[in-house]
């Protein structure tokens, strides 16, 4: 059925049979998990981050706290407060494991990406580990520059990150990537240090840390510290925004990670130019089958759109993205205020059920609803043309149209608003 559609992707000279890969987490730490994952439609698996110093491998328990009890948004978004640290076992055990993982991955044509981290000030240890992973059969490595301790060091010295990459490059021949934190700034300078050092790809991003308070018990929820990975679907626009920034400053290939739970989440990253997407916490919240679902969803979407391969649409949405300054400089009505704002809402009476969401939420009080008389009134003269009511209406009854020419639709909650085309 899928023979006519090619979803394979090339990155750093390696072929991935699917653009969907497993991002680094405990799901890539054991052979049994890797065996299950390789039988699914995954292009690659990133291992759990390995490290040698014992102090980086301390695991407090329990360490995984889903935030479901904090409400629907957290539950549906797949939010997790996690204290998962790098892998626990000793170096020799890890190397044995990597070589067995490599064997399994090879059998199923799945690319094995080993993630690791060492003391950022000890470059020779980074090189030693990289060489050992290459010898053990890893196809590529992902330097985990996203851990809190790495960020502390690298934010003071970007050069240190560059030195680690270029030194590893001297002694290995497989592709090298770095996984970055969503807080490293200035992002463009960090990326350029990596690029100059010979980096083959960037994985963006690890998730931010945070903390959440259980107000009933008046204590921090789960563990009394700032935990890593308070992620989930809400992280997607943030991660994607930074990826756009990286792409604007560098042509380095990016593995897009952050908030991917569904096919359309993954497609957003591909449409912004990422050749591959990594699935993290969704494996926990939706089970391993989520990778298959996303893979087949991408194939279905491509068939519906008539695409035969990923390159036909990769980066298509990215090409529309401008920086905020140019967008503002092109605005036709930069300083108007009501009653002269250019666009106003119209309500399709056949779709409106008078629920009143628009009236409740319009902060300018443009819309009023009289449920008893089944009347809805719009006071155009108060409208700022913001568009909020269009998106908030649960029955898609509201459209923003040109004030002067009521027929012209400016925003209907789909695609790009007409003004920006």
Ligand X SMILES: Cc1cc2nc3c(=O)[nH]c(=O)nc-3n(C[C@H](O)[C@H](O)[C@H](O)COP(=O)(O)O)c2cc1C
Residue placing its CB nearer to ligand X in the complex, 25 or 299 = 25
**x/- track of binding to ligand X for residues 135-174 (CB under 6 A):** ---------x-x----------------------------
Give the nearest distance from C-beta 257 to ligand X in angstroms: 4
What token pair was written down for 257?
């990670």
Q: How far apart are CA 421 and CA 413, in angstroms?
A: 14
Spatial distance between the Cα atoms of 308 and 4, rounded to a whole number of angstroms:
7
Residues 6+ apart with CB under 8 A from 151: 145, 181, 183, 184
Residue 288 structure tokens: 């391993």
The first and second tokens of residue 277, run together, are 């997407």
Count residues binding ligand X (CB under 6 A): 28
Phi, psi (deg, nearest 5) at residue 14: -110, 145
Residue number, 85 or 367, with CB nearest to ligand X: 85
Taking the complex as a whole, the smallest distance from the CB of residue 78 to ligand X amounts, in Å, to 7
Tokens of 100: 């067995």
In the bound state with ligand X, the residue whose beta carbon lies nearer, of 57 and 382, is 57
What is the x/- site pattern for ligand X, positions 40-79, by CB under 6 A? --------xx------------------------------
Q: How far is the CB of 184 from ligand X (least distance, A)?
A: 14
Q: How far apart are CB 166 and ligand X at their closest, in Å?
A: 21
What is d(CA 141, CA 144) in angstroms, rounded to the nearest whole number? Answer: 9
**Shortest CB 26 distance to ligand X, Å:** 6
Q: Count the neighbouring beta carbons within 10 Å of the beta carbon of residue 267.
A: 20
Structure tokens at 76: 């549906």
Q: Does an H or E element contain 155, and which? A: helix 148-156
Residue pair 81/210 in contact by the 8 Å Cβ criterion:
yes
**Residue located via tokens 């759990």:** 48
Cα-flanking dihedrals φ and ψ of residue 216, to 5°? -65, -45
Q: Least distance (Å) from ligand X to the CB of residue 271?
A: 17
Tokens of 108: 């199923």
* Of 18, 20, 24, 134, the one binding ligand X by CB under 6 A: 24
Please check whether residue 118 is in contact with residue 87, taking contact to mean a CB–CB distance below 8 angstroms: no
Does 25 bind ligand X (CB under 6 A)? Our answer is: yes
Decide if residue 23 touches ligand X (CB under 6 A). yes
Judged by beta carbon, residue 28 or residue 387, the one nearer ligand X is 28
Restricted to residues 257-296, the positions that interact with ligand X (CB under 6 A) are: 257-260, 279-282, 284
Q: Shortest gap between Cβ of 196 and ligand X (angstroms)? A: 23
CB-nearer residue toward ligand X: 256 or 273: 256
**Distance of alpha carbon 198 from alpha carbon 193, whole angstroms:** 9
Of the candidates 404, 345, 405, 403, the one whose C-alpha atom is nearest the C-alpha of residue 376 is 345
Q: Contact between 221 and ligand X (CB under 6 A)? A: no
Residue nearest to ligand X (CB): 280
Least Å distance, CB 47 to ligand X, is 8
Strands 140-144 and 111-116: parallel
Q: CA–CA separation, 173 vs 134, rounded Å?
A: 8
Q: Which stretch binds ligand X (CB under 6 A): 17-25, 152-160, 192-200, 319-327?
A: 17-25
Applying CB under 6 A, among 43, 86, 175, 273 the residue interacting with ligand X is: 86
Least distance (Å) from ligand X to the CB of residue 57? Answer: 11
**Displacement of CA 413 from its chain's centroid (Å):** 22
The Cα 118–Cα 125 span in angstroms is: 7
Least distance from C-beta 114 to ligand X, angstroms?
11
**Is residue 57 classed exposed, middle or buried when 0-12, 13-18 and 19+ CB atoms within 10 A define those classes?**
middle
Binding of ligand X at residue 80 (CB under 6 A)? yes
Among 5, 6, 26, 119, binds ligand X (CB under 6 A): 26
Residue 114 interacts with ligand X (CB under 6 A): yes or no = no
Q: Is 34 in the site for ligand X (CB under 6 A)?
A: no
> Which residues are bridge partners to 64 per DSSP?
82
Whether 221 and 212 have beta carbons less than 8 Å apart is answered as yes
By beta-carbon proximity to ligand X, the closer residue of 260 and 272 is 260
Which of 235, 269, 288, 307 lies at the binding interface for ligand X (CB under 6 A)? 235
DSSP-assigned beta bridge partners for residue 9: 16
**Token pair for residue 218?**
């008046």
Piece of 37-45, 256-264, 304-312, 361-369 that binds ligand X (CB under 6 A)? 256-264
Q: Residue 273 Cβ, how far from ligand X at the closest point, in Å?
A: 18
Which residues are near ligand X by CB under 6 A?
A: 23-26, 48-49, 80, 82, 84, 86, 115, 144, 146, 179, 206-207, 229, 231, 235, 257-260, 279-282, 284
């Amino acid at each position: 059925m899928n023979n006519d559609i090619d979803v394979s992707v090339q990155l750093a000279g390696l072929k991935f049979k699917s653009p969907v890969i497993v991002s680094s987490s405990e799901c890539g730490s054991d052979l049994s998990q890797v065996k299950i994952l390789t039988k699914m439609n995954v292009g690659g698996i990133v291992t759990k981050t390995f490290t040698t110093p014992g102090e980086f491998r301390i695991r407090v328990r329990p360490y995984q706290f889903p935030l479901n009890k904090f409400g629907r948004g957290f539950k549906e978004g797949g939010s997790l407060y996690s204290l998962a640290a790098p892998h626990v076992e000793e170096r020799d055990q890890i190397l044995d494991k990597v070589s067995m993982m490599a064997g399994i991955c090879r059998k199923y044509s799945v690319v094995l990406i080993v993630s690791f981290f060492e003391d950022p000030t000890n470059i020779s240890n980074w090189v030693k580990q990289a060489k050992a992973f290459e010898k053990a059969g890893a196809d590529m490595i992902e330097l985990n520059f996203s851990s809190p301790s790495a960020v502390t060091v690298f934010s003071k010295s970007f050069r240190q990150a560059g030195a680690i990459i270029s030194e590893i490059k001297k002694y290995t021949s497989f592709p090298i990537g770095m996984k970055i934190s969503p807080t490293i700034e200035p992002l463009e300078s960090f990326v350029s240090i990596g690029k100059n050092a010979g980096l083959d790809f960037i994985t963006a991003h690890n998730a931010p840390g945070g903390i959440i308070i259980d107000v009933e018990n008046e204590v921090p929820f789960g563990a009394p510290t700032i935990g890593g990975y308070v992620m989930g679907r809400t992280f997607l626009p943030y991660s994607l925004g930074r990826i756009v920034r990286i792409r604007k400053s560098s042509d380095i290939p990016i593995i897009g990670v952050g908030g991917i739970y569904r096919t359309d989440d993954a497609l957003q990253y591909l449409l912004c130019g990422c050749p591959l997407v990594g699935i993290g916490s969704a494996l926990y919240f939706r089970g391993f089958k989520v990778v298959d679902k996303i893979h087949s969803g991408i194939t279905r979407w491509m068939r519906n759109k008539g695409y035969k391969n990923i390159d036909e649409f990769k980066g298509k949405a990215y090409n529309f993205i401008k920086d905020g300054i140019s967008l503002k400089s092109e605005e036709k009505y930069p300083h108007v205020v009501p009653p002269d704002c250019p666009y106003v809402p119209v309500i399709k009476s056949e779709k409106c059920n008078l629920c009143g969401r628009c009236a409740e939420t319009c902060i300018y009080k443009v819309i009023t609803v009289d449920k008893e008389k089944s009347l809805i009134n719009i006071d155009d003269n108060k409208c700022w043309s913001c568009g909020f009511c269009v998106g908030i209406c649960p029955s898609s009854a509201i459209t923003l149209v040109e004030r002067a020419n009521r027929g012209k639709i400016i925003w209907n909650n789909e695609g790009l608003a007409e003004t920006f085309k």
